[in-house]
Amino acid sequence: MRIQLSDHFTYAKLLRFTAPSVIMMIFTSIYGVVDGIFVSNFVGKTPFAALNLVYPVLMILGAFGFMIGTGGTALVAKTLGQGRRETANQYFSLMVYAAILGGAVISLAGFVFLRPLAAALGAKGEMLEYCVLYGRIILLANPFFILQNVFQSFFVSAEKPKLGLFVTIGAGLTNIAMDALLVAGLRLGLAGAAAATALSQLVGGLVPVFYFARPNSSLLRLTKTRFSGGALARSCANGSSELMSNISASLVNVLYNFQLMRLAGEDGVAAYGVIMYVAFIFAAIFIGYAVGGAPVVSYHYGADNQGELRSLLRKSLVLTAAAGGAMTALAVLAAGPLSRIFVGYDPALCDMTERGLRLFGISFLFAGFNIFGSAFFTALNNGLVSAAVSFLRTLVFQCASVLLLPLFWDLDGVWLSVAAAEAMALAVTAACLAANRKRYGY
């Protein structure tokens, strides 16, 4: 039975509705993970470290799609909740066209400035050339990656989360198959891994365009639209928290790499890369739930259904707590096997990675609440509070932690930094939720 945004959501219905978005985000996170596995095992440690060094830059350049997608979805879902479907389709179309244009400009700039950026991050000699090779191939497909990030949110507002899941699975399988062919089979090295990811992003970005451009059974369709600076500005402002979250996380990754190069050299960067791959998949569960649940929150906010808002918040906090506990336990118990998948060929590096993953895993106890809290306020069209939570969580607290904790615990301080930052951010998230209860009636 089709689940609609206007429904009352039980735990079971909420899980069914958000499950496609969760799986969709997991498959999206697998892109970089699959590249890492193949590069580490078939190409070598230096190319693997180069991939990890340049990856945050590529994520910053793709974060524009998260801003347009989450901010635009909140506006579109709210408009649908008000019963203005034609206007919602015009807003939706405007966001997609803006993403295409903005993505092309951003990708061109990244292509031109990638070499000096990689050098500024500390890449030299062979490592620098690997960074530029991988990054420029990826940037050719970056506009499609931006589109894919946009459509991840809009598939939910269109009441087609399963279709979004199928598109993402198709893109993920493309990446895995092409990595196996180009890296393991044809031995094209780092260039093959980059080409595999670029092809998968092409699939993830173009298929939704073809679907929404034609008559379809969803709530949304691409149509002719007029430029509305106000609507675009509101969406960008509202989605700025997601943009800030992604950019801040990438900038913090750069800082982590600097600290790790100082404390443990190339092995530290490689170990951190493995931990980040695992963290991407775990965090994708929280992010997917937030992406899947946000349009429901926006719809009922637009419909002024405060009772359903209270129910959604309460259920979401319970589910987040359960997921966080399970993820922390899994990170601790599976740290050894997960480390061996990536760097089992180097015992010392494997031991470093295993210990780091166990300490890092503590952060999952807190991270889900902060991710959901930021998305919750975005869904309520309160971009200011959402951005404040994201800014403090992903930049201020993490920078402070990664600079201070290693002074006391050396390398262990780096691994514990995210947990410390998430714990501090949780206090901010709880305060924001409490302070805005009367305003929104949840």
CA distance 182 to 187: 6
Q: How far is CA 309 from CA 144, 181, 221, in A?
A: 34, 48, 27
Question: Which range has the worst mean pLDDT, 137-146, 243-252, 357-366?
Answer: 243-252
3-class secondary structure, 84: coil
Question: What percentage of the chain carries pLDDT values higher than 70?
Answer: 99
List, for residues 134-163, the tens digit of each pLDDT value. Answer: 999 999 999 999 999 899 889 988 989 889
Q: What is the mean pLDDT of residues 325-342?
A: 95
Question: For the chain, how many residues are written?
Answer: 442
In three-state secondary structure terms, 250 is helix
This prediction's pTM: 0.75
pLDDT of residue 32: 63
The percent of residues in the chain predicted with pLDDT above 90, rounded, is 65
Chain segment 289-325, per-residue pLDDT in tens: 998 999 999 999 989 999 999 999 999 999 999 999 9
Distance CA 312, CA 441 (A): 12
pLDDT band at 36 (very low <50, low <70, confident <90, very high): confident
pLDDT in tens, 217-226: 999 999 999 9
pLDDT in tens, 41-83: 999 888 988 888 888 889 888 888 888 998 899 899 899 989 8
Per-residue pLDDT at 357 exceeds 70: yes
Is residue 2 included in any domain, yes or no?
no
Q: Please, which pLDDT band fits residue 364 given cuts at 50, 70 and 90?
A: very high
Q: Domain containing 263: what range?
A: 11-440
DSSP-derived letter for residue 7 is S
Res 435: pLDDT: 95
pLDDT at 277 over 90: no
Name the band, by pLDDT with cuts 50, 70 and 90, for residue 396: very high
Asked if the structure places residue 1 within a domain, the reply is no
Q: Decide if pLDDT at 252 tops 90.
A: no
> In whole angstroms, what is the distance from residue 288 CA to residue 25 CA?
5
pLDDT confidence of residue 1: 64
Cα–Cα distance for residue pair 35/49, rounded to 1 Å = 12
* Closest among 83, 77, 79 to 293, alpha carbons compared: 77
Nearest Cα neighbor of 162 from 24, 331, 48, 336 is 24
pLDDT tens for 179-198 read: 999 999 999 999 999 999 99
Distance of CA 238 to the CA centre of its chain: 17
Is residue 381 in some structural domain? yes
186 inside domain: yes
The residue behind tokens 């801003």 is 67
How far are the Cα atoms of 69, 113, 189, 385, 417 from residue 368, in angstroms, in the given order?
A: 20, 35, 36, 17, 16
- CA distance linking residue 90 with residue 113, whole number of Å: 35
Angstrom distance (rounded) from CA 76 to CA 15: 22
Three-class secondary structure of residue 3 per DSSP: coil
Q: Measured between alpha carbons, how far is 138 from 134 in angstroms, rounded to an integer?
A: 6
Neighbouring residues of 70: CB distance < 8 A, sequence distance ≥ 6 = 153, 238, 239, 241, 242, 291, 294, 375, 378
Q: What domain count does the chain have? A: 1
Are 281 and 361 in contact by the 8 Å Cβ rule? The answer is no
pLDDT band at 35 (very low <50, low <70, confident <90, very high): confident
Closest CA relative to residue 61, chosen from 114, 23, 2:
114
* Helix (H) / strand (E) containing 213: helix 189-213
Residue 17 has pLDDT above 70, yes or no: yes
The stretch 15-31 carries a mean pLDDT of 84
pLDDT band at 21 (very low <50, low <70, confident <90, very high): confident
Average pLDDT rounded to a whole number, residues 329-337? 96
User: What is the Cα–Cα distance from 416 to 357, expressed in whole angstroms?
Assistant: 10
Write b or e for each residue in 45-81: b if 16 or more Cβ atoms lie within 10 A of its Cβ, otherwise e. Answer: bbbbbbbbbbbbbbbbbbbbbbbbbbbbbbbbbbbbb
pLDDT beyond 80 at 348:
yes
Q: Which two tokens stand for residue 224?
A: 């002719």
Domain-located, residue 3: no
| pLDDT, the chain, mean | 91
User: What integer pLDDT is reported at residue 377 of this predicted model?
Assistant: 94
* Confidence (pLDDT) at 298: 93
What Cα–Cα distance (Å) separates residue 124 from each residue in 31, 195, 384?
A: 26, 23, 40
Residue among 305, 275, 307 nearest 415 (CA): 275
d(CA 166, CA 162): 6
Residue 153 confidence (pLDDT): 83
Does residue 334 fall inside a structural domain? yes
With a cut of 80, say whether residue 245 has pLDDT above it: no
Q: Which residues contact 139 (CB under 8 A, 6 or more apart)?
A: 58, 61, 107, 110, 111, 114
